[in-house]
Amino acid sequence: MGRKPATVAQRQAARRHIQKAAAGVYAEQGATAVSVRAIALRAEVSVGTIYAHFGSLQGLMQSLWMEPVETINAQLAELAAGIVDPVARLEALLKTYVEVAGTRPELFRGAFLFVRPDTLPKPPRDPLDEAPFAALLIQAVSEGQALGRIRPGDPGLLAQLAWSGVHGCLALPINFDRLAFAAPDPLAMRMIEIVVADLTASTARDAVPDDRGEAP
């Protein structure tokens, strides 16, 4: 008599168990130690079980961060939908990004500071506007430009500059913890003030160059 197929709850529990093991290997031994065999050994399951649940090592590692990030993206979309003023929306989105980094540090490190080891295949590079958070920033910049509230320039590049500036304030104190940086959260909040002030500066000023180094 064959074994009964696993229930949805049992499959979800098995996935969570494997994800916990993968997160443990990554946290304790670093990205270079991550392998299907190491995770299977820690989870006390077969290598085939991991492939059955996640398809590949890349799929497993992405699931650690992407599932909770998708929930956050939905919350960000809801936040953005409730703010009509595009400048206020841009500021609120950036501040929420900082709050996520502060309140969920492990998620932030895994999703936004993850350095892909050479043993993991590199995924194809998607357009920036296909990333939900980037798309929300780009939309806010575009709407602000249409209203004359945000300086002219490529909306994607301006959104990327805003995101990069804030992210750098959060990442540098972590990546270079041997240096006496200011606390990342207040540093990032100050950067948001600077970024928003620059983007909303007089449109008479020169536009930010595009990715070819030319003014639009």
> Which residues lie below 8 Å from residue 215, measured CB to CB, with a gap of 6+?
206, 207, 208, 209
Average pLDDT for residues 17-44, to the nearest whole number?
Answer: 86
Look at residue 90 and give its three-state secondary structure: helix
- Supply the pLDDT for residue 146: 96
Q: Report whether pLDDT(160) > 50.
A: yes
- Supply the pLDDT for residue 206: 47
What are the structural domain ranges in the chain? 1-55, 65-216
- Amino acid (1-letter code) at residue 168: G
For residue 90 the two structure tokens come to 């841009």
- Indicate the pLDDT class of residue 205, thresholds 50, 70 and 90: very low
Query: Which range among 87-96, 99-108, 119-128 shows the weakest confidence by mean pLDDT?
Result: 119-128
Highest-confidence range of 23-27, 110-114, 179-183, by mean pLDDT?
Answer: 179-183
- In this prediction the pTM is 0.72
Widest Cα–Cα separation across the chain = 79
Q: Report whether pLDDT(5) > 60.
A: yes
65-216 CATH: 1.10.357.10
- Supply the pLDDT for residue 40: 93
Domain 1-55 matches domain 65-216 at the CATH topology level: no
Q: Mean pLDDT, the chain, as a whole number?
A: 86
Q: How remote is the C-alpha of 22 from its chain's centroid?
A: 19
Look at domain 1-55 and name its CATH class: mainly alpha
Q: Report whether pLDDT(54) > 70.
A: yes
